[in-house]
Amino acid sequence: MKIGPTTRTIAIVTVIVSAILGSSYLVGNASNQEHERERDTSAAQSYDSDAVRGARHRGDERTGSPASPSSRARATQSAARNPARPGDSAPTATDAPQGGAGPQKQGVAAGPPLPASFNQSVVVGPGKPPLMPDTAGPFGSRTTTGTVQVALTFDDGPDPTYTPEVLALLDEYNVKATFCLVGEMVVQFPELVREIVDQGHTLCNHTWNHDVTLGTKSKAVIRADMVKTNDAIHAAVPDAKISYFRHPGGAWTQAAVDVAKELGMSSLHWTVDTQDWTTPGAAAVEKVLTTDTALGSIVLMHDAGGKRENTVDALKDMLPKLEEQFALAALPPGIDPPKLHGRDLPIHGGQK
Ligand SMILES: [Zn+2]
């Protein structure tokens, strides 16, 4: 069949139009692929952010630069070692016995000592302390720092005699610790609370008047006690972060742990019980510190509630020795929710 000029023109136009349409389809397709790549990249970046945050918990990321592949790998390994439990799970058969826990070694991953300052540079949110998960204590309370760091904790203060002595020793050795404060003491000695915070130590709510039966009372009573105590601390230091709660006598109940969580506080048990409140002599306190302190330990001591010369004397002797062996650090304070492009960062597993 003979192809006329008109038919040829139509054919040429069709080819040209097809070419244009085809190329625009290809351009569109390429553009879509670009968007897909962008989505992939942003997904990878958010994964990176998690890895960076994970790395920061272990002190790998001290400069804020993106995580290296090896640190990502370590973050993944760490996540495998420390799987976060969903929600506020009740204690399981594998949990420690309820009630006071004696000294125990915890399976904290070994690693090089971390700089004492690394907790302060952790950036996660919102509003709760960034820690690796640990719910091994009574009613899902925390017994370890979740890192190789060792945390010294001082209960029942502030006390006008012993708190300044403890603070001076901590300052001398540049050690940061965590103080579990009693509301009635806070209202009497607010300047000591300010000094504790000013020196870079972190805070824990230890109830209004050290009622060891508080946890057996109604949630409303428990909540009122915790809120009153936090209000007293905030009256002394308005912007203080109070991210931990410790029940007097370690007499935890599910209700106490639940209410603490509702108020944004992690329940803080311990690993090492120095029994210093029984005034057993400085040597006995030192022996417990020497024998039982391990990587990740939370050490229970008292700077108030009675005569605490044993505690002060033991600290004098043991702070330099413990510092040689361990990275001593305060449990991290809660932080304000950081904003990422207008969105809160997801809650870290350890903030539950
Ligand atoms: Zn106490």
Q: What is the DSSP string of 134-159?
A: ---SGGG-B-B-SSS-BEEEEEEE--
Q: Kind and range of the H or E element at 244?
A: strand 242-245
Identify whether 88 is part of a domain.
no
Same domain, 131 and 245: yes
- Do 48 and 110 lie in one domain? The reply is no
Buried b (16+ CB within 10 A) or exposed e, 55-90: bbbbbbbeeeeebeeebbebbeebbeebeeeeeeee
Beta carbons of 299 and 150 less than 8 angstroms apart: yes
Within a domain: 65? no
* pLDDT tens, per residue, the chain with 352 residues: 444 555 555 544 444 444 444 343 333 333 333 333 333 333 333 322 222 222 333 333 233 333 333 333 333 333 333 333 333 333 333 333 333 333 333 333 444 444 444 443 333 334 455 677 788 999 999 999 988 899 999 999 999 999 999 999 999 999 999 999 999 999 999 999 999 999 999 999 999 999 999 999 999 999 999 999 999 999 999 989 999 999 999 999 999 999 998 898 899 999 999 999 999 999 999 999 999 999 999 999 999 999 999 999 999 999 999 999 999 999 988 755 444 444 555 555 555 4
Query: What token pair was written down for 82?
Result: 């420390």
Whether 302 sits among the annotated catalytic residues: the reply is yes
Burial class for 291, CB neighbours closer than 10 Å (0-12, 13-18, 19+): exposed
- Pair 126, 75 in one domain: no
Asked if the peptide bond before residue 332 counts as cis, ω within 30 degrees of 0, the response is no
Q: Say yes or no: 169 and 263 in one domain.
A: yes
- Domain assignment present for 86: no
Total number of domains constituting the chain: 2
> Known catalytic residue: 155?
yes
Q: Are 334 and 127 in contact (CB under 8 A)?
A: yes
Domain with 13, as residue range(s), is 1-60+70-81
The residue from 201, 206, 247, 302 that is catalytic is 302
Q: In this structure, are 12 and 47 located in the same domain?
A: yes
Which of 155, 156, 159, 303 is the catalytic position?
A: 155
Q: Is residue 92 domain-resident?
A: no
Q: Does one domain contain both 289 and 347?
A: yes
162 CA → ligand 1 middle, Å: 15
